[in-house]
Amino acid sequence: MTNNEISSVLKSVTKPGRYIGGEYNAIKKDKAAVTCRFAFCFPDTYEIGMSNLGVRILYETLNRNPDVWCERVYAPWTDMQEKMEEYSIPLAAVESGDPLSEFGIVAFSLQYELCYTAALNMMKLAGYPLFASERDEDAPVFIAGGPCVYNPEPVADFFDLINIGEGEEVLSEIAELYVKMKKDGSYTKTAFLREASHIEGVYIPSLYDVSYNEDGTIAAFAPKYPDVPAKIKKRIVADLDKAPYPEKLVMPYIETVHDRIVLEVYRGCIRGCRFCQAGMVYRPIREKSPDTLCKLAKCLYENTGYDEISLISLSISDYSRLPELTDKLLSWTDDEHVSLSLPSLRVDSFSDELMKRVSSVRTGGLTFAPEAGTQRLRDVINKNVTEDDLMRSVGIAFRGGKSGVKLYFMNGLPTETLEDIEGIADLAQKVVYEYYKLPKPERPRGVSVTISVACFVPKPFTPFQWEAQDSYESLVEKQRHLAECITDKKIRYTYHDAKVSRVEAILARGDRRVGKAIARAVELGANLEAWDEFFDYDRWMQSFADAGLDPDFYTTRGFGEDEILPWDMIDIGVTKAFLLRERKNAYAEKTTPSCAEQCSGCGANKLGGKNRWCK
C-alpha cells in the first residue's frame, strides 16, 4: 500500500492515532544489523496496551541488547480489521510497519483470559495457523507470558514456548539464546525450543505428552525426553532493587486508560486470602526499598512528564515501609504538581495518618474490599477484616472529606448462603449510617456507597482451586436477591455478568482440550472479548459443543483432591500440601495469620530471593 492509500485508510477509521507509531522514545533500529527481531504483541487495543507500564519497561530493557530489536504490535479495532481484510494489509509492528513474518520471536502478553481470542485473532491476521503444530520451520517462535499462563494448558497448543513467572530476566535470556544459536549456525526451531526448555521458567508444550482417563480427568502428564524438566519452576526476580531503571519510556500521543506512572511497590501478598491467585503466585514477598522506589519514580517522572503516580501492589497498606515511602515521595511531588494515589487499601490498616497523606491526592473516593458480607464467610475465605475495621476506615474517610466509598464483594464463594448475601446489603447500609453518625457540619457533601459484586471463579494455585464454581442460575438468583435487599437510595449496586465469569472459569481451569474450543470461537469471530460489546456467550457454548467439551466439567464440577490438575506441572513455590491445608481450614472456618504475624509454611521461601517475611 502506498503512503497515500494508508493515509486514506487512517482517515476512515476511529482513533487513527492508534496505528501511527512514531512516538517519543519509540525505538528504531537498523533491521539488517540485528540478529533477533522480537515482536511484543499486546492482545488488545493500543490504548490498553500502552497503559501497561510493565510492558513498556520490558520493551526498553529488551532493546538494550544491540543484537535484539523489540517492536510493538497491538490489536486493531474492528473497523481497521475490516480494512485490513479488504485490502490484504497484514498485521504489522508499530515501529517498522513490517509484518510478523519478518520476526524471529513473537511474544504475547496474556493479561486476562478473555484476551485469548484477541491474541489468536492477531495470529490469524498475521497469516499464521493458530496451532503450533501446523506452523512450519520458517514461522516465528510464538511465545506467551503474563499472569494467565500459570495454567498454560488452554493455550498450550497455540504457543511454541510459554514463560512461567516474571518475565524481566527470562525474556532477555530467551532472546540471547536465539541470538547465540543464530550466530553459531545451530539454530533450527526444534533445536532452539529443546535448548530453551532448560532455561528456568520456560515451558515448551510440544515436549510433553498428556493423556486422559475415561471420566475426562488427566491420566498422565510427562515430558517426552529426560532432559526436559518434569516440573517447570516459575521464574522470579530475586532482588527487585537490582532491576534496571527504565530511562526512556515510550510515550503515547493518544490518551490511554492509565495516563500516569504506575509504581509497583512490592510483589506478593502477606494475607493469604484463599480466593486470591495473585497473592499465591507472586510469593515470596519481595519489596523494593523506599530509596529505589523514589529514585525510580523521579526517573520516570522526568522522562515522561506524567503528573500522577499510583502506588500499586496487591495490598499497598501492607508495605512495611509505607510512611517512609510516602514521605520521601511527597518531599518532591507536591512541588512538582504531581499527585500521589493509593488505589487499593485494606480496611484493617487504614489510618488517619494514611488518610492525611492520601488527602494530597485528587481522587474523589476510596475503595475497600471486604469481599464477603458476614464474618463467618470472611473467615472461610481468610479475608481477615472485621466489621469494626470497615466502619472505622470509612469513618476516617468521611471525616477526611471523602464522600464516595466503593466496596468490592464476591458472590458464589464456597459455603455461601443467602444469609451471607444479605450481609452485603447490611454492611453497605451500616456504612451509610456511619456517614450520618458524623455531626452535620463535618459531613462531606452527598454520601454515595457503591457496592460492586463479582462472581467467584475458583482459580488455579489457590486453596479453592478444587471448588466447583457456583452455577449460573445460582449466581443470578443471588444477584437478584441482593438487589431486593438494597433499599437505600444512597447505595449503588453493580454486578458482573455471570456468563462472563463462567467462560473465565473454563479458560482459567481448563486442560489442553479447551484449546480446540478457543480456536473454534476465533473461527466463529470471537475477538476483543475483554470489551463488553464483543463478548458472546452463545458463541462460546457453540464452540465448546463443536469441540466436544462439556463446560460444566470445568466449572460446576468440583475437582477431586487426588486428581491430576492441568497446572500440576508448574511449581510456583507455594506447595499443594499448603493449599490443601488451607482448604481444610476454610471449611473449618479457621483463619490463618498473615506472613507478618506468623509463617504458615506455604513453601514459597524455597524459591529464595531477597524476600521480606519468609523464615
Partner 1 sequence: MVQVENSGSYTIRFRFKKMGSLQYVSHLDLVRTMHKIVVRSRLPLKYTEGFNPKPKMVFAAPLSIGTESLCEFLDLRLSERVDESVALEALNRNMTEEMQAVEAYYTDTKFTDLRWLSYTVSMKTAGASDELCERINAALSSDVIEIEKKTKSGIKPVNIRPLIKSADAFFDGEQIRIVCLLSADPSEFLNPEYMVKYLRESVGVLSDPCLINEYYSILREEAYTADMQKFR
| Interaction between residue 4 and partner 1 (CB under 8 A) | yes
Q: CA-to-CA distance for 132 and 114, rounded, in angstroms? A: 20
| Interaction between residue 12 and partner 1 (CB under 8 A) | yes
Give 9 or 316: the residue with its C-beta nearer to partner 1. Answer: 9
Give 4 or 487: the residue with its C-beta nearer to partner 1. Answer: 4
Output the DSSP codes for 472-483.
Answer: HHHHHHHHHHHH
CB of 303 to partner 1, least distance (A): 7
Q: For residue 538, what is its C-alpha cell?
A: 452463545
Give 18 or 539: the residue with its C-beta nearer to partner 1. Answer: 18
Give 248 or 437: the residue with its C-beta nearer to partner 1. Answer: 248
| Interaction between residue 606 and partner 1 (CB under 8 A) | no
DSSP conformation class of 15: -
Range in contact with partner 1 (rule: CB under 8 A) among 198-206, 296-304, 316-324, 370-378: 296-304
Give 22 or 441: the residue with its C-beta nearer to partner 1. Answer: 22
Q: CA-to-CA distance for 239 and 213, rounded, in angstroms? A: 43
The b-or-e profile of 471-495 (16+ CB within 10 A means b, else e) is ebeebbbbbeebeebbeeeebebeb
The b-or-e profile of 149-179 (16+ CB within 10 A means b, else e) is bbbbbbbbbbbbbbbbbbbbbbbbbbbbbbb
Give 13 or 524: the residue with its C-beta nearer to partner 1. Answer: 13
Give 26 or 432: the residue with its C-beta nearer to partner 1. Answer: 26
CB of 11 to partner 1, least distance (A): 5
Give, for 38, the enclosing helix (H) or strand (E): strand 36-42
Q: CA-to-CA distance for 362 and 324, rounded, in angstroms? A: 21
Residue 549 · residue 516 · CB < 8 Å: yes
Residue 59 · residue 250 · CB < 8 Å: yes
| Interaction between residue 21 and partner 1 (CB under 8 A) | yes
Rg, the chain, Cα only: 24
Q: CA-to-CA distance for 204 and 200, rounded, in angstroms? A: 11
| Interaction between residue 247 and partner 1 (CB under 8 A) | no
Give 358 or 421: the residue with its C-beta nearer to partner 1. Answer: 358
Closest CA to 273 of 413, 451, 427: 413
Q: CA-to-CA distance for 26 and 331, rounded, in angstroms? A: 31
| Interaction between residue 191 and partner 1 (CB under 8 A) | no
CB of 363 to partner 1, least distance (A): 11
Q: Around 564, how many Cα atoms within 13 Å sit in the side-chain half-sphere? A: 17
Give 7 or 415: the residue with its C-beta nearer to partner 1. Answer: 7
| 3-class state of residue 413 by DSSP | coil
Neighbours of 404 (CB within 10 A): 18
Q: Which residues contact 455 (CB under 8 A, 6 or more apart)?
A: 410, 411, 412, 469, 470, 475, 495, 496, 498, 501, 502
* Residues numbered 24-53 forming contacts with partner 1, rule: CB under 8 A: 24, 26
| Interaction between residue 433 and partner 1 (CB under 8 A) | no
Give 3 or 211: the residue with its C-beta nearer to partner 1. Answer: 3
Q: Which of 230, 253, 323, 494 binds partner 1 (CB under 8 A)?
A: 253
Beta bridge partners of 482: none
Closest CA to 29 of 57, 56, 69, 64: 69
Q: CA-to-CA distance for 9 and 79, rounded, in angstroms? A: 10
* Residues numbered 297-356 forming contacts with partner 1, rule: CB under 8 A: 301-307, 335-337
Residue 162 · residue 144 · CB < 8 Å: yes
Count of residues near partner 1 by CB under 8 A: 33
Give 4 or 211: the residue with its C-beta nearer to partner 1. Answer: 4
CB of 266 to partner 1, least distance (A): 27
Q: Is the dihedral angle over the CA atoms 605, 610, 611, 615 positive or is it negative?
A: positive
Q: For residue 11, what is its C-alpha cell?
A: 482517515
CB of 28 to partner 1, least distance (A): 10
The amino acid sitting at 302 is E
Range in contact with partner 1 (rule: CB under 8 A) among 13-21, 281-289, 434-442, 528-536: 13-21
Residue 405 · residue 394 · CB < 8 Å: yes
Q: Which of 11, 231, 440, 489 binds partner 1 (CB under 8 A)?
A: 11
The side-by-side arrangement of strands in the sheet containing 261-264 is 261-264, 308-312, 339-341
Contact characters 360-399, partner 1, x per CB under 8 A: --x-------------------------------------
Give 26 or 330: the residue with its C-beta nearer to partner 1. Answer: 26
CB of 21 to partner 1, least distance (A): 7
CB of 252 to partner 1, least distance (A): 8
CB of 421 to partner 1, least distance (A): 38
Q: CA-to-CA distance for 371 and 408, rounded, in angstroms? A: 6
| Interaction between residue 7 and partner 1 (CB under 8 A) | yes
| Interaction between residue 255 and partner 1 (CB under 8 A) | yes
CB of 122 to partner 1, least distance (A): 22
| Interaction between residue 10 and partner 1 (CB under 8 A) | yes
* Residues numbered 69-128 forming contacts with partner 1, rule: CB under 8 A: 87
Beta bridge partners of 130: none
Range in contact with partner 1 (rule: CB under 8 A) among 11-19, 121-129, 204-212, 473-481: 11-19
Give 256 or 591: the residue with its C-beta nearer to partner 1. Answer: 256
| Interaction between residue 129 and partner 1 (CB under 8 A) | no
Q: For residue 191, what is its C-alpha cell?
A: 533445536
Give 331 or 415: the residue with its C-beta nearer to partner 1. Answer: 331
| Interaction between residue 420 and partner 1 (CB under 8 A) | no
Instruction: Enumerate binding residues for partner 1 (CB under 8 A).
Output: 4-5, 7-8, 10-12, 16-17, 19-24, 26, 87, 251, 253-255, 259, 301-307, 335-337, 362
